[in-house]
Amino acid sequence: MSGFERNQFVGIGQHSACCLAALTVWLATGSVGCKQNDPSIEIVSYKDAADPQRYTSRFEQAWYSTDARSNWHFVMRTVRPAEIDPSQQIEQILCARVFWRPVPGKTAAEPSMTDAVVDYYLISGATGIRYTGCGFVSFKKATSQEKVIGRIESCQLWPYQTFGGAADLLGRCELVGRFVASPNRGRCVELSNRMKRMFGPPPPYQSRPSGP
């Protein structure tokens, strides 16, 4: 996890088997009805390195904002009933903070290039788990609109924090996706603060030096 000062992964309990099964079925069936250009994410789980599992899910809500340091913040959210137990609501939240943007014609492209810290949360009732890592997020303004169209590429995530004895569904994983976000600083701040209250502050990160 290049850029993070230290890897302090929390031991994750394995007794939440029902929640794990519900999340697995939900993610696995999330690709049904998704079109190629729909806002969605695809996750490849390497929890079993010999048999990687692929999951797809769609986000119905996405917002963005910028801060005083010119960082871009993207927050995506989806909630739906669990497939196994419809009385359970399962929530996914993805937060990406883009801390620099490549300059066309000046920034050399590298396969390992990262420009964002990405947090992916799975929450069900009194349990939740957070996956944290780095990736490359590219985006542009939609024509004649305030919306932003973007892609998440080559994002590597690891289990980082948990509460309520949540089971580790994905282990080490890779995430890619597409999104269309609307400007809404209030929603970005609200959801980011809620995740901090649930899981604690994000891990320390040393941002890339300024310049091309």
Tens digits of per-residue pLDDT, 136-156? 998 988 876 789 999 998 899
Closest C-alpha to 179, from 73, 61, 56? 61
Q: Which long-range contacts (CB under 8 A, 24 or more apart) does 44-48 make?
A: 44/173, 44/174, 44/175, 45/169, 45/170, 45/171, 45/172, 45/173, 46/171, 46/172, 46/173, 46/174, 47/168, 47/169, 47/170, 47/171, 47/172, 47/173, 48/171
pLDDT at 144: 65
Model pTM? 0.78
pLDDT at 40: 86
3-17, 26-40, 172-186, 189-203: lowest mean pLDDT where? Answer: 3-17
Does the structure show a pLDDT above 80 at 39? Answer: no
- For the ranges 1-15, 49-63, 138-152, the maximum mean pLDDT occurs at 49-63
Does the structure show a pLDDT above 50 at 11? Answer: no
Average of per-residue pLDDT values in the chain: 77
Q: How far apart are the first and last CA of the chain?
A: 22
The pLDDT tens digits for 79-96 are: 987 666 677 788 999 999
Does the structure show a pLDDT above 90 at 120? Answer: yes
- What percent of the chain shows pLDDT beyond 90? 41
What mean pLDDT is predicted for residues 32-61? 80
In this prediction, residue 209 has a pLDDT band, given cuts at 50, 70 and 90, of very low
In this prediction, residue 166 has a pLDDT band, given cuts at 50, 70 and 90, of confident
Token couple for 35: 């079109």
Does the structure show a pLDDT above 80 at 206? Answer: no
